[in-house]
């Protein structure tokens, strides 16, 4: 039997008439493309292309197959779209639990993209601590979760939406705020303030990992909503946040030199109960991430 993948490969090659360009368009290497076309010709018992060292030319049989292959692929795409629309008709509300920082920075653009891609979809958004986002997904209170560096948890699947460089966040009167960059070694000698693991275990552990797993001796752990947090920052402490984190004029961000690690914002869902339209949702989110330059795949 001829496979849909074979027809898709052949259609790309029939358009490009060049194995290298067709392979690039399909995001594969050239040898698998050549092997697939050869297997397709064996199945059909006829040559579909006349090959030269530089290009390819359709035979009469190849031209006939191209016409039918394009029609079949278009029919499949329409069938997929119709199925997605039917699934959407059954579930028109998507519940998303977003961690506190993400709700302000990433969620507005994501919500706009999803409602634009799925006009009949209603989003029900809640703002929670990162650890609570995971719990909401696992307990069925949310269809999707969105959090920065969510802790690895059994029963939850994830997909990277955004990667951001870490920066040192200081009070605007802190002299460090005038610097163009600062190193981890320098930061290790300064007072660091960090949110509790009960609030966001994954992001907490990520920041600690920047110091080779040994937190600075001057580390202070506080609830981010505690008034003492502000007092510590005014007194000269710093914290580490994603570069795109929302801040006020009271703070300054200082890039961390030679830091290859990134804060990663993940979309998460229950492995046992993935939301309807999950592939279509991920496709729409990936399109947005690529357009915004949020992540390289």
pLDDT digits (tens, 9 = 90+) for 168-178: 999 999 999 99
Residues 172 and 101 in one domain: no
Q: Is 278 a member of any domain?
A: yes
Residues 245 and 224 in one domain: yes
The residue behind tokens 């909503």 is 225
pTM for this entry: 0.69
Q: How many CB atoms lie within 10 A of CB 18?
A: 14
Report the domain count for the chain. Answer: 3
What span, in angstroms and rounded, lies between the C-alpha atoms of 112 and 59? 47
Burial grade of 89 (CB within 10 A; 0-12, 13-18, 19 or more): exposed
The residue behind tokens 């200081």 is 170
Give the tokens for residue 91: 């579930």
Q: Is 64 a member of any domain?
A: yes
List the single range of 111-120, 190-199, 242-251, 268-277 with lowest mean pLDDT.
111-120
Q: Which domain holds residue 194?
A: 166-261
Residues 107 and 249 in one domain: no
Q: Who contacts 269 (Cβ-Cβ below 8 Å, separation ≥6)?
A: 137, 143, 144, 145, 156, 157, 158, 275, 278
Residues 29 and 61 in one domain: yes
For the segment 128-144, the average pLDDT, to the nearest whole number, is: 94
Residues 202 and 287 in one domain: no
Q: How confident is the model at residue 51 (pLDDT cuts 50, 70, 90)?
A: confident
């Amino acid at each position: 039997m001829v496979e849909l993948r074979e027809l898709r490969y052949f259609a790309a090659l029939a358009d490009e008439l060049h194995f290298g360009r067709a392979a690039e368009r399909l995001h594969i290497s050239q040898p698998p493309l050549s092997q697939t076309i050869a297997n397709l010709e064996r199945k059909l018992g006829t040559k579909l292309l006349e090959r030269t060292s530089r290009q390819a030319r359709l035979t009469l049989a190849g031209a006939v197959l191209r016409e039918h292959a394009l029609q079949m692929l278009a029919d499949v795409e329409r069938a997929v779209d119709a199925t997605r629309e039917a699934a959407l008709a059954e579930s028109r509300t998507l519940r998303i639990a977003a961690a506190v920082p993400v709700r302000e920075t990433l969620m507005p653009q994501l919500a706009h993209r999803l409602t634009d891609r799925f006009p009949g979809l209603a989003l029900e958004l809640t703002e929670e601590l990162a650890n609570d986002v995971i719990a909401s997904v696992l307990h069925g209170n949310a269809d999707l979760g969105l959090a920065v560096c969510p802790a690895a948890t059994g029963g939850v699947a994830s997909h990277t939406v955004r990667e951001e460089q870490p920066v040192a966040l200081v009070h605007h009167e802190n002299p460090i705020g005038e610097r163009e960059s600062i190193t981890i070694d320098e930061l290790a000698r300064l007072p660091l303030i960090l949110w509790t693991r009960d609030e966001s275990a994954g992001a907490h552990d990520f920041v600690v990992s920047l110091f080779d797993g040994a937190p600075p001796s001057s580390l202070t752990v506080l609830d981010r909503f505690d008034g003492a947090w502000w007092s510590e920052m005014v007194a000269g402490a710093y914290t580490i946040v994603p570069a795109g984190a929302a801040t006020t004029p009271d703070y300054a961000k200082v890039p961390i030199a030679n830091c290859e690690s990134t804060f990663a914002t993940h979309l998460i869902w229950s492995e046992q109960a993935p939301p309807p339209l999950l592939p279509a949702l991920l496709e729409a989110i990936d399109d947005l991430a690529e357009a915004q330059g949020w992540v390289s795949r």
